[in-house]
Amino acid sequence: MDKHVLSVVVKNYSGVLSRVAGLFSRRGYNIDSLTVGRTENPEFSRMTITMFEDGDTLEQVKKQLGKLEDVKQVVELDQEDAVYRELVLIKVKADATERAAINEIVRIFRCKVIDISMETLTIELTGDESKVVALIKLMEEYGIKEMVRTGLAALERGEKDISSHGEYFEA
């Protein structure tokens, strides 16, 4: 099974997320990550859905999404033609003796310490999945107390945008 990233433009109102997620659960499809937020037009939101499926299942998902009244556009993003980013917040054990080493890792990864206490540091990193995974593996050595990941946010590179795949805004 391959990783696929779908960019889905939907109407921005209550219940849409539930209907889209319900489509996946009713058919037994798994969502690896889901990120949702308003677009440049407040009438619409964009969902970035990441899933691991074979080609036939992916085509079925795209067709089923397209049939939902609230869905205005479904586009599969190609990794070579898109920018993918993810945010991770990691709270790591860090007593006085470990802080210098952790701060050096933070500097190398170009991330930020956003909170500090006597026993912990909270680190923020935005990057592609491989960078996020690499930081997590390094922080595991110090002891991760808590962690949260946003899932992917993605846009096509260059001049191309989602509307170039067909108009989705209503007149």
Token pair, residue 57, equals 């299942």
pLDDT tens-digit map of 56-94: 889 999 999 999 999 999 999 998 899 999 999 999 999
* Contact criterion met (CB below 8 Å) for 34 and 49: yes
Is the pLDDT at 170 greater than 90, yes or no?
A: no
Asked if the model's pLDDT at residue 167 lies above 70, the reply is no
Q: 168 pLDDT exceeds 70?
A: no
Model confidence pLDDT, tens digit, residues 103-154: 999 999 999 999 999 999 999 999 999 999 999 999 999 999 999 999 999 9
Tokens 């939902």 — which residue?
68
Residue 171 has pLDDT above 50, yes or no: no
Q: Which helix (H) or strand (E) holds 162?
A: none
- Residue in the structure block whose two tokens are 């191309």: 160
pLDDT mean over 28-39? 92
Give residue 159's pLDDT. Answer: 83
Fold identical between 2-77 and 84-153? Answer: yes
d(CA 161, CA 155): 8
Q: What's the pLDDT at 162?
A: 79
Q: Is the pLDDT of residue 42 over 60?
A: yes
Q: How many CB atoms lie under 10 A from the CB of residue 143?
A: 12
**Under CATH, to which class is 2-77 assigned?**
alpha beta
CATH superfamily placement of domain 84-153:
ACT-like. Chain A, domain 2 (3.30.70.1150)
Structural domain boundaries of the chain? Answer: 2-77, 84-153
